[in-house]
């Protein structure tokens, strides 16, 4: 019996290879070819507007980029954006998950309404917020401010990054809520009841039972959100175009400006390499976290 199992596994190895080959090969190609090209271009002098100026540039593009204050500002913006949105969505999502776990009238409908923004495409949500919510003259927020006697605010010029953070958080809070709500439903009611009998208040229960129970779900939320938040693009493209100045230019948008607006392939590629390195640093931590979670 054992023997057939063992031999089955060798055959299995071959079968595994052929079954996985398409997916693995395609992803390898998808990853390696553009990556190699990006690295190659990053050492080239290559501007689509100046075809005569081709040639090896050495580390010129990197020097140019690394001494360009725009890069550091873009990195800072990227980290601020990711950090704030993660903080808001994870904390908010956890609190909302606890709220929507309580039994109340029409809970099912309220839950569905609350998770809806996750399914709205980024360009639509950016436009709705820009034109209908945060518009300084006709937006709902301006109207609300005026009706209580406050001056209307021009969100995108006075608080540009905050505005982007609000929009992106609005999109991702429902996602965190969706995952955490599902996780919280598997919480053992008896355990909570026992703790209550022992005189634990709701706050103690939250920190000692609910939060530890949600640990894995929270790490999943952080991982998935991080993948998408590092590359936020449409929300900026539609609302502020990275401005005013560089206030809302993150790495993704900076490379877009260099590549598709300035046609400077060399510098854009160097920026791409830096973005990839940054993402990998983050990814190493994330993969460790997930791998640990997978083992439990």
Partner 1 sequence: MTTTLSHKDAPMDAARGNAALRSKRLRNLGIAVLGWSVALIIFFPIFWMILTGFKTEAEAIAEPSLFFSPTLENYHDVQARAGYFNFAWNSVVVAFGSTLLALLIAIPSAYSMAFLPTKRTKGTLLWMLSTKMLPPVGVLVPIYLIFRDLGLLDTLTGLTIVYTLMNLPIVVWMLYTFFKDLPQDILEAGRMDGASTLQEIVYLLMPLTLPGIASTGLLSVILSWNESFWSLNLTTSQAAPLPAYIASFSSPEGLFWAKLSAASTMAIAPILVFGWLTQKQMVRGLTFGAVK
In the region spanning residues 126 to 155, those forming contacts with partner 1, defined by CB under 8 A, are 126-133, 138, 140, 143
Which listed residue (100, 155, 156, 172) binds partner 1 by CB under 8 A?
Answer: 100
Report in angstroms how near the CB of residue 146 gets to partner 1 at its nearest: 10
CA atoms of 105 and 145, how far apart (whole Å): 31
Per CB under 8 A, contacts with partner 1 among 245-274 are: 251-252, 255-256, 259-260, 265, 268-269, 272-273
Which listed residue (192, 195, 220, 289) binds partner 1 by CB under 8 A?
Answer: 220
- By CB under 8 A, is residue 286 in contact with partner 1? yes
- By CB under 8 A, is residue 294 in contact with partner 1? yes
How many residues sit in the footprint of partner 1 (CB under 8 A)?
100
Which listed residue (192, 200, 224, 289) binds partner 1 by CB under 8 A?
Answer: 224
Report in angstroms how near the CB of residue 51 gets to partner 1 at its nearest: 13
Q: Which two tokens stand for residue 162?
A: 């905050």
Sequence-separated (6 or more) residues with CB below 8 Å from residue 66: none
- By CB under 8 A, is residue 97 in contact with partner 1? no
Q: Which two tokens stand for residue 205?
A: 């229960």
Per CB under 8 A, contacts with partner 1 among 108-127 are: 109-127
Which listed residue (106, 149, 151, 199) binds partner 1 by CB under 8 A?
Answer: 106
- By CB under 8 A, is residue 19 in contact with partner 1? yes
Which residue's CB is nearer to partner 1, number 194 or number 292? 292
Which listed residue (170, 205, 242, 247) binds partner 1 by CB under 8 A?
Answer: 170
Q: Say if residues 131 and 239 touch (Cβ distance below 8 Å).
A: no
The DSSP-derived string for the chain is: -HHHHHHHHHHHHHHHHHHHHHHHHHHHHHHHHHHHHHHHHHTEEEETTEEEEEEE-TTHHHHHHHT-HHHHHHHHHHHHHHHHHHHHHHHHHHHHHHHHHS--TTHHHHHHHHHGGGGS-HHHHHHHIIIIIS-TTT-HHHHHHHHTTPPP--HHHHSHHHHHHHHHHHHHHHHHHHHHHHHHTTS-HHHHHHHHHTT--HHHHIIIIIHHHTHHHHHHHHHHHHHHHTT--HHHHHHTTT-STTTT--HHHHHHIIIIIS-BHHHHHHHHHHHHHHHHHHHHHHHHHHHHHHH-
- By CB under 8 A, is residue 195 in contact with partner 1? no
Which listed residue (216, 243, 262, 289) binds partner 1 by CB under 8 A?
Answer: 216
Instruction: Indicate the Cα dihedral angle 282, 284, 285, 288, nearest 10°.
Output: 150
Report in angstroms how near the CB of residue 147 gets to partner 1 at its nearest: 9
- By CB under 8 A, is residue 80 in contact with partner 1? no
- By CB under 8 A, is residue 38 in contact with partner 1? yes
Which residue's CB is nearer to partner 1, number 205 or number 259? 259
- By CB under 8 A, is residue 103 in contact with partner 1? yes
Which residue's CB is nearer to partner 1, number 79 or number 286? 286
Which listed residue (97, 164, 165, 230) binds partner 1 by CB under 8 A?
Answer: 230
- By CB under 8 A, is residue 56 in contact with partner 1? no
């Amino acid at each position: 019996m054992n023997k057939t199992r063992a031999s089955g596994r060798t055959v299995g190895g071959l079968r595994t290879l052929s079954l996985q080959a398409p997916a693995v090969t395609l992803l390898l190609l998808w990853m390696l070819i553009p990556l190699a090209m990006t690295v190659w271009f990053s050492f080239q002098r290559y501007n689509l507007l100046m075809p005569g100026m081709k040639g090896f540039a050495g580390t010129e593009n990197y020097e140019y980029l690394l001494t360009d204050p725009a890069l550091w500002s873009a990195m800072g913006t990227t980290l601020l954006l990711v950090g704030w949105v993660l903080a808001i969505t994870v904390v908010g999502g956890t609190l909302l998950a606890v709220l929507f776990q309580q039994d109340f009238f029409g809970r099912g409908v309220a839950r569905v309404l609350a998770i809806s923004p996750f399914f709205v495409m980024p360009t639509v949500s950016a436009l709705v917020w820009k034109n209908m919510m945060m518009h300084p003259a006709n937006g709902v927020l301006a109207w609300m401010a005026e009706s209580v006697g406050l001056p209307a605010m021009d969100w995108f010029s006075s608080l540009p990054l905050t505005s982007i953070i609000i929009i992106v958080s609005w999109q991702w809070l429902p996602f965190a809520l969706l995952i955490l709500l599902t996780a919280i439903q598997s919480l053992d009611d008896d355990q909570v009841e026992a703790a209550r009998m022992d005189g634990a208040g709701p706050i103690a229960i939250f920190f000692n039972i609910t939060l530890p129970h949600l640990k894995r779900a929270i790490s999943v939320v952080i991982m998935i959100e991080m993948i998408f938040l590092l590359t936020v693009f449409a929300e900026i493209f539609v609302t502020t175009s990275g401005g005013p100045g560089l206030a809302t230019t993150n790495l993704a948008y900076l490379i877009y400006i260099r590549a598709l607006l300035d046609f400077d392939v060399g510098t854009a590629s160097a920026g791409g390499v830096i973005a990839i390195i940054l993402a990998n640093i983050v990814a190493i931590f994330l993969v460790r976290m997930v791998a640990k979670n997978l083992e439990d």
